Amino acid sequence: MLRGQLPGTGDSSRLAAVLTYIGVLVTASVALIGYSINLQTERRLGNEQDEQQRQLRLDAAMRAGQLISPRDSGSAHPAALASGLLALTKLDQAELAVVLLVDLWSFDPDGSQPEPPSGDERSPRVSHETAILVIDEALRSASTSARLVAAELLCRNATRLHTCNSLHWPRAVDGCWDPTFSPKTKLLIVEALVRMTMSGPAEEGALRSVAVRLYAIWDGDPTPEVKGCIGKFIGKIIGRLDDFGVKQFVHGPKMEMVTIESLQAAARTAADNPDDYLAKLSNELGDALSEWATSCQAQPARAGALATAAALTQ
């Protein structure tokens, strides 16, 4: 025993240290257990909330479906159809909405007959404007199949749309472009744009509109095949644009300026697709677009045309 140390003092110190250590362990264990319990509770509550949200969306989607297909024998009112379809797009059901649109918008898939007048039993049950809004939401969705069906519908009905009517073209691809579209979706959208343009009046406003939309695709897509195809189409119309003395355009939602030099640079990238069928299709469409552009006539500025030009840039 050391001099001056009381008997048992060392043992008491060690015991106190052990008890303190045990206390710290117990406190830490209690805190850890409490944290685990809280974490599990939060996860359970989060899962329950997610399930409730899914159930609410499902119930809302079913009610939207009832608007489209009423229980009585009569046809749904166009306003109810529009509300139901747009509600589905807002409930993460864009794929279902665009699939329903196939029958509600398309009256004549092969395009062999003229569109019947409004009110005819063979006429589409939703307006072009409603259909375009649904297609726009589908093109913005994360569903690859919804995007493809939307592009197919747009292409199928392109000749019924007017290129200078901003409500007749999806804003998702109006002066902007999503390069993550699948190759087939891209092809259908480009074909729809060209066919819509050629089916309308051959006038300067339509020529300017298709030039801006084509350039947005060329500028926004890094794929050489897409750039080559779009460059070919731009090359078919740029001469007529130059005839009108057009030097610059407002492009995209940010209202950026596109010059005639930019279009000329895009036209220089023209190239045939390695796929023989796609190369033939693009050549045929390009020749038809060139013929249409050659027949375009200058038009005086009108209030409606100015409003349309402004809408294309928003």
230 burial level (CB within 10 Å; 0-12, 13-18, 19+): buried
Name the domain boundary from 159, 190, 214: 159
Distance (Å, whole) CA 67 – CA 187: 33
What are the tens digits of pLDDT across the range 219-268? 999 999 999 999 999 999 999 988 888 787 776 666 667 888 999 999 99
If asked whether residues 180 and 155 sit together in one domain, one would say no
Name the domain boundary from 144, 159, 174: 159
If asked whether residues 214 and 235 sit together in one domain, one would say yes
If asked whether residues 165 and 146 sit together in one domain, one would say no
Q: Quickly state the pLDDT bin for 120 (edges 50, 70, 90).
A: very low
Q: Which domain holds residue 302?
A: 161-314
Both tokens of 251, joined, read 């492009």
If asked whether residues 77 and 130 sit together in one domain, one would say yes
CA angle 222, 225, 229 (to 5 degrees): 105
What are the tens digits of pLDDT across the range 175-187? 889 999 999 999 9
Helices 94-105 and 144-156 meet at what angle, rounded to 10? 20
What are the tens digits of pLDDT across the range 292-303? 999 988 766 554
**Is residue 8 included in any domain, yes or no?**
no
What's the total number of domains in the chain? 2
- Percent of the chain with pLDDT strictly greater than 70: 72
Both tokens of 110, joined, read 């092969």
The predicted structure's pLDDT at residue 214: 95
If asked whether residues 127 and 199 sit together in one domain, one would say no
What are the tens digits of pLDDT across the range 13-45? 777 777 777 777 777 777 777 777 877 777 777
The predicted structure's pLDDT at residue 133: 93
pTM: 0.72
**Is residue 43 included in any domain, yes or no?**
no
Distance (Å, whole) CA 72 – CA 301: 50
If asked whether residues 65 and 165 sit together in one domain, one would say no
**Is residue 34 included in any domain, yes or no?**
no
**Is residue 231 included in any domain, yes or no?**
yes
Which comes out higher in pLDDT, residue 17 or 103? 103
**Is residue 40 included in any domain, yes or no?**
no
Which comes out higher in pLDDT, residue 83 or 212? 212
DSSP assignment of 117-151, as one string? PTT-TTS-SS-HHHHHHHHHHHHHSS-HHHHHHHH
**Is residue 257 included in any domain, yes or no?**
yes
If asked whether residues 236 and 134 sit together in one domain, one would say no
If asked whether residues 64 and 129 sit together in one domain, one would say yes
Length of the chain: 314
If asked whether residues 167 and 154 sit together in one domain, one would say no
Interval 269-290 mean pLDDT: 92
If asked whether residues 311 and 211 sit together in one domain, one would say yes
32-41, 89-98, 136-145, 301-310 — which is least confidently predicted?
301-310
Q: Find the Cα–Cα–Cα–Cα dihedral 30, 36, 37, 43, rounded to 10°.
A: 170
The predicted structure's pLDDT at residue 150: 95
- Cα Rg, the chain, nearest whole Å: 31
The predicted structure's pLDDT at residue 89: 79
Interval 89-101 mean pLDDT: 83
**Is residue 76 included in any domain, yes or no?**
yes
**Is residue 225 included in any domain, yes or no?**
yes
If asked whether residues 206 and 77 sit together in one domain, one would say no
If asked whether residues 155 and 226 sit together in one domain, one would say no
